[in-house]
Amino acid sequence: MATVRGTSVDIPTQDGTADAYLTHPDDGAPHPAVLFYLDAFGLRPHIRAMADRLAAAGYTVLVPNVFYRHGRAPVVELPEFIAAGADPGLFERLGPIVGSLTPEQTERDADAYLRWLADSPLVADGPVGITGYCLGARLALLTAADHPERVAAAAGFHGGFLATEAEDSPHLLADRITAELYFGHADQDPALPAEQIDRLTKALTAAGVRHTAEVYEGAHHGFTQADTDRYDAAADERHWTALLALLERAL
């Protein structure tokens, strides 16, 4: 594993400036890019550590604060360890912020993130990969659909609301996707019940999208997040194995 260098960067967007974390092998060379979409808790030390681990495998990783319209990270003050029920007001504060991010905003922001990566001397020529967690899995699916010419691989872990009955559900864009997809679903996840997993799989299959969808038995929503009480070490390591294999194939 390579030694990495992480820095804070600002990315101009159509709607303002997105603060972000950039991490890459500390060798001065360009590497394939990975756009990392975080979960609802936002940009914080654990997310930076995950990005560093990914960068150490040979990638230039960009983690934007997707909630930048509400302020720089941390948008909401978080405890060092996030436990369900410890702060009932936390989700009340997060809910409106998460709910305000529309598919249209996501597409505009992804334009900016991908353009920034394309212009960076730390990024190798070629397509990019995406990984997303919780809310980020939804953003990964939307970005793969909106930018098929740029995205070669997209992964989503313990994603929520990926195949709802809403008119703007991400699964309805399956026919636009050319990337290879991987999903690691948690089977104890009310945000993505079995009927949505089935609906997503059928949409991707009908559209001819190369994809793998695995259900991690016994895992809860948030199983990759070690700073929460939903963390599952075995499921997390399984996620790393799947993610790195996908990126190696595609990038």
Task: Give me the CATH number covering residue 10.
Answer: 3.40.50.1820
Average pLDDT over residues 80-100: 91
Tens digit of each residue's pLDDT (9 = 90 or more) over 23-54 = 999 999 999 999 999 999 999 999 999 999 99
- Pair 200, 172: CB distance under 8 Å: no
Per-residue pLDDT band for 88 (boundaries 50, 70, 90) equals confident
Q: Taking CA 55 as the corner, what is the angle to CA 239 and CA 63, rounded to the nearest 5 degrees?
A: 80
Smallest CA-to-CA distance from 137 within 167, 119, 162, 114 is with 162
Torsion of CA 172, 176, 178, 182, to 10 degrees: -20
Q: Which residues are CB-neighbours of 85 under 8 A, at least 6 positions away?
A: none
pLDDT band at 133 (very low <50, low <70, confident <90, very high): very high
pLDDT in tens, 60-70: 999 999 999 99
Tens of pLDDT, residues 180-216: 999 999 999 999 999 999 999 999 999 999 999 999 9
Residue ranges in 120-188 assigned as alpha helix (H): 135-146
pTM of this prediction? Answer: 0.98
Output 128 or 91, whichever has higher pLDDT.
Answer: 128
Those residues with Cβ within 8 angstroms of residue 145's Cβ, 6 or more apart along the chain or in another chain: 170, 173, 174, 176, 177
Q: What pLDDT score does 1 carry?
A: 80
Contact 48, 82 (CB under 8 A): no
**Angle, vertex CA 68, rays to CA 65 and CA 72, nearest 5:** 85
Number of domains in the chain: 1
pLDDT score, position 160: 95
The pLDDT of residue 228 is above 90 = yes
> By percentage, how much of the chain surpasses pLDDT 70?
100
- Which residues form the domain of 97? 4-250
> Quick one: what percent of the chain has pLDDT higher than 90?
96
- In angstroms, the Cα distances linking 171 to 33, 57, 91, 134, 202 are 24, 30, 26, 15, 9
In whole numbers, what is the pLDDT of the chain averaged over residues? 97
- Count Cβ atoms below 10 Å from residue 50 Cβ, excluding itself: 23
The rounded distance, in Å, linking the Cα atoms of 1 and 221 is 29
Given a cut of 90, whether residue 79 has pLDDT beyond it is yes
Q: What pLDDT does residue 54 have?
A: 98
For residue 12, say if its preceding peptide bond is cis, omega within 30 degrees of 0.
Answer: no
**Cα–Cα distance between 178 and 207 in angstroms, integer?**
10
Neighbouring C-beta atoms of residue 234, cutoff 10 Å:
11
